[in-house]
Amino acid sequence: MTSQTLREARKHEEMMEVHIAPKDRPAFHLSPRVGWMNDPNGFSYYKGEYHLFYQYHPYDSFWGPMHWGHAVSKDLLHWEYLPAALAPDMPYDKDGCFSGSAVTLSDGSQLLLYTGVMKEPQADGSFRDVQTQCVAIGDGRDYEKALDNPVLTEKDLPEGGSRYDFRDPKVWLGEDGVYYCVVGNCTENHDGQILLYSSADGLHWKYESILAKNNGRFGRMWECPDFFALDGKRVVLTSPQDMLPEGFEYHNGNGTLCLIGDFDKNKKTFSEEYNQAVDYGIDFYAPQTILAPDGRRIMIGWMQNWDTCNMRNQPKSWFGQMSLPRELSIKNGRLYQSPVRELDELRCNKVEHKDVLVNGLVRLKGVEGRLVDMELQIRPVDKAQMFQKFAVRFAQDEIHHTAISFRPMESILKVDRKFSGSRRAIIHQRRSMINHEEGKLKLRVILDRLSVEVFVNDGEQVMTATIDTPQDAGGISFFADGNVMVDVVKYDIKDIDR
Ligand code: FRU
C-alpha cells in the first residue's frame, strides 16, 4: 500500500519536473528529479537495469525530511526517473528515510535496507535523532516496508555504540549465501566505527563484530561505510565527518576515506595497511559501490561538499548531482578510479594535436566546449630545464575560467574555480601532491555543464569540483611557464536527450 505521504511526493515530482529544462541540468551526471539530492543509495543491478536511489527532499532545493528518489539506467549515464521509492511515513522513520542500500533476495524481490530516523525529546527540551535500520521489499518500482521494522536497533549495538549515530547500512550477499551489512556508528565520544551484521534472509539480523575502528585518527563519526574485495585485497570506504587535514590529504572537513588491507575471517575484523582520500578535489562525498554483472566494482558519489552546499549563487529550484560512476582497481596499495567505459560510447568529434609546444598561452583548433572528455599527455621539452608551471583553462570566456595547474618542481596539481562564476566566499582551490616522472604527467579531464572531474595518471588520483559557469563560456586554453610538450586528444560528449 502506497502511503499518502509517498503519493503526495510522487504527484509533486511529476508535476514539478516539467519546470526544469534539460539544458539546466548536467548532461550525463544524475541530478534530482526535483528539489534536493544528497547521497547515492541502493546502487544495484536488478532485473537487467542499474538502479540508483538517492537522498531526496522533493519539496525544496535544501535538505529536509528525507525521501528516496529513484532512477534506472542501462549504461550508468542515461538515467530515467522513476517515482520516489520511500517517504518518511512510519513512526520509526517519520523524521527521515536516511541512506541505505539494496540487494536481491532469493525469491527475486529487491530488498532496501535503510536508516529510519525518529526525533526523541531530551530532558533539556531539545531533540536528538534516534537511528535504526529498516527494510522495504519491492519489485524495482514499488516497495513495501516490513512489518517487523526496525530490524536493527540499539539492542544490536556493541557496548558504548551510540544510538544517535547508527546509520547508512550497506548490504551484500556473501559467497557463503549469507547476507551481510556494514553500518556506520560511533562511540559515545564520537569516534567512528563500522559494525558488521549477518542475516540468513535479509530481515533478521545478528551482530557480528566491530569491523573497523577509527581510534581517533580520521575525523569523528564515520558515515556511509562500504566493504568489498578488490584485486586480492579488502577495501573499506567511509565518509568521516569533521576531518582534520593531514599534509595534502583530507582537506574537505566531511571527507572520504579509503582503507586497503585484509579481513580476518575468525575475528571478523579488518586489518588496515594503507589509507588515502578517495577524491582530492572539493566536491565528493558518501560514495557507494556495486559489483556489476561483468565483475567490475563501480563507485558513485555525491558530487558535493556539505560545508558549501548551502552557499548558492542564486536561488534555484533543484540542487545536487552525482559524480561519474567510476571503475575501481588497486595498484601498488592505492585505489585507482577510471570513468566507466560506457562513457567511451558517448565520445564524438575527436580532435587530436600531437607534440604541441606550449610556452605562454596557446589555443588549439577544435579544442573547446562544455561537454568534453579530454586527454592530455604533458612532458618537458628538456628535462634539464624543467618548466615552472603548466595549466589548462576551461569553461572560459573573458570573465570566467576554471584551471588545473601542474608545478613539477613541487609535484603539485591544483584545481582552481575562483573565476568559475561563484559569487560566494567559499573554498575554490584544492592542491594535491601527485606522482610524475620528471615532469611527465597524464590527465583526463571530463567536463559536464556543472562540473569537472580530473583523472590523474590513469586514475591514481581524482580531483572533482562543481562549477556554476554560464554555458556559453566554452573556451579551452593552455599555458606554460617554460617549455612544455603536450599531446591533446579531445572529444565532445554527446548530449543526452531526456
Ligand atoms: C551523509 C549523510 C548520511 C545520512 C544522510 C542523510 O551525507 O549524513 O549519514 O544517512 O546523509 O541525508
pLDDT in tens, 377-397: 999 999 999 999 999 999 999
Q: What is the pLDDT of residue 230?
A: 98
Phi, psi angle pair for 46, to nearest 5°: -145, 130
Q: Is 97 in the pocket of ligand 1 (CB under 6 A)?
A: no
**Strand-pair partners of 392:** 404, 478
pLDDT in tens, 442-495: 999 999 999 999 999 999 999 999 999 999 999 999 999 999 999 999 999 998
Q: Is 55 in the pocket of ligand 1 (CB under 6 A)?
A: yes
The amino acid that residue 486 corresponds to is V
DSSP annotation of 409 reads T
Q: Is 98 in the pocket of ligand 1 (CB under 6 A)?
A: yes
Strand runs (DSSP E) across 158-232, as ranges? 161-173, 179-187, 192-199, 205-213, 222-230
DSSP 24-36: GS-SSS---SSEE
pLDDT in tens, 342-361: 999 999 999 999 999 999 99
Contact call for residues 127 and 121 (beta carbons, < 8 A): yes
* Gap from CA of 184 to ligand 1 centroid (Å): 10
Q: Does an H or E element contain 6, and which?
A: helix 4-16
pLDDT in tens, 23-49: 999 999 999 999 999 999 999 999 999
What is the mean predicted confidence (pLDDT) over 192-199?
A: 98
* Gap from CA of 223 to ligand 1 centroid (Å): 7
Judge if the upstream peptide bond of residue 169 is cis by omega within 30 degrees of 0.
Answer: no
* Gap from CA of 168 to ligand 1 centroid (Å): 7
* Gap from CA of 440 to ligand 1 centroid (Å): 39
What does the alpha-carbon distance between residue 236 and residue 226 come to, in Å, rounded to a whole number?
A: 6
Output the CA–CA distances (angstroms, integers) from residue 16 to 11, 304, 318, in the order listed.
9, 23, 10
Give the range among 208-212, 250-254, 400-404 with minimum mean pLDDT: 250-254
Q: What is the pLDDT of residue 497?
A: 62
Sorted by sequence, the CB contacts under 8 Å of residue 190 that are 6+ apart come out as 162, 165, 220, 221
What is the mean predicted confidence (pLDDT) over 180-197?
A: 97
What does the alpha-carbon distance between residue 437 and residue 486 come to, in Å, rounded to a whole number?
A: 15
What does the alpha-carbon distance between residue 147 and residue 290 come to, in Å, rounded to a whole number?
A: 28
Sorted by sequence, the CB contacts under 8 Å of residue 388 that are 6+ apart come out as 407, 409, 481, 482
Question: Where does the chain hold its CATH 2.115.10.20 domain(s)?
Answer: 4-342
The minimum-distance atom of ligand 1 relative to the CA of 223 is 9
Number of residues assigned to the chain: 498
Adjacency order of strands within the sheet including 97-104: 97-104, 110-121, 127-138, 143-145
pLDDT in tens, 359-373: 999 999 999 999 999
Dihedral, 70, 304, 57, 71 alpha carbons, nearest 10: -10
Q: Does an H or E element contain 15, and which?
A: helix 4-16
Query: Mean pLDDT across the chain, nearest whole number?
Result: 97
Backbone region of residue 242 per phi and psi (left: phi > 0; alpha: psi in -120 to 50; beta: other values) = left
* Gap from CA of 123 to ligand 1 centroid (Å): 26
Q: Residue 242: CA atoms inside 13 Å, Cβ hemisphere, count? A: 11
Three cell numbers written together for 306:
556539505
Three cell numbers written together for 113:
535496507
Query: Taking the CA atoms of the chain, what radius of gyration do you get in angstroms?
Result: 23
* Gap from CA of 420 to ligand 1 centroid (Å): 28
pLDDT in tens, 84-129: 999 999 999 999 999 999 999 999 999 999 999 999 999 999 999 9
Q: Is 6 in the pocket of ligand 1 (CB under 6 A)?
A: no
Output the CA–CA distances (angstroms, integers) from residue 282 to 56, 105, 158, 250, 405, in the order listed.
22, 37, 34, 10, 15
Q: Is 269 in the pocket of ligand 1 (CB under 6 A)?
A: no
pLDDT greater than 60 at residue 200: yes
Q: What is the pLDDT of residue 439?
A: 97
Task: Verify whether residue 39 is a known catalytic residue.
Answer: yes
Q: What CATH code would you report for 4-342?
A: 2.115.10.20
Q: Is 37 in the pocket of ligand 1 (CB under 6 A)?
A: no
What is the mean predicted confidence (pLDDT) over 185-196?
A: 97
Q: Judge: domain 343-493, CATH 2.60.120.10.
A: no
What does the alpha-carbon distance between residue 450 and residue 448 come to, in Å, rounded to a whole number?
A: 6
Q: What is the pLDDT of residue 288?
A: 98
Q: Is 39 in the pocket of ligand 1 (CB under 6 A)?
A: yes
In angstroms, the first-to-last Cα distance of the chain is 30
What is the mean predicted confidence (pLDDT) over 217-242?
A: 98
* Gap from CA of 375 to ligand 1 centroid (Å): 34
Closest CA to 52 of 26, 24, 33: 33
The minimum-distance atom of ligand 1 relative to the CA of 224 is 9
pLDDT greater than 60 at residue 498: no
Q: Pick the catalytic residue: 24, 39, 176, 262? A: 39
Dihedral, 74, 77, 78, 83 alpha carbons, nearest 10: 80
Question: Where does the chain hold its CATH 2.60.120.560 domain(s)?
Answer: 343-493
Q: Is 326 in the pocket of ligand 1 (CB under 6 A)?
A: no
Q: What is the pLDDT of residue 495?
A: 85
pLDDT in tens, 45-68: 999 999 999 999 999 999 999 999
Residue 476: how many other CB atoms lie within 10 Å: 23
Q: What is the pLDDT of residue 53?
A: 98
The minimum-distance atom of ligand 1 relative to the CA of 254 is 7
* Substitution site in 98, 257, 303 for ligand 1 pocket (most atoms within 8 Å of beta carbon): 98
* Gap from CA of 370 to ligand 1 centroid (Å): 31
The minimum-distance atom of ligand 1 relative to the CA of 99 is 10
What does the alpha-carbon distance between residue 43 and residue 288 come to, in Å, rounded to a whole number?
A: 7
* Gap from CA of 66 to ligand 1 centroid (Å): 9
The minimum-distance atom of ligand 1 relative to the CA of 168 is 10
What does the alpha-carbon distance between residue 320 and residue 464 come to, in Å, rounded to a whole number?
A: 14
Map residue 428 onto helix, strand or coil: coil
What does the alpha-carbon distance between residue 394 and residue 311 come to, in Å, rounded to a whole number?
A: 23
Contact call for residues 3 and 286 (beta carbons, < 8 A): no
Q: Is 186 in the pocket of ligand 1 (CB under 6 A)?
A: no
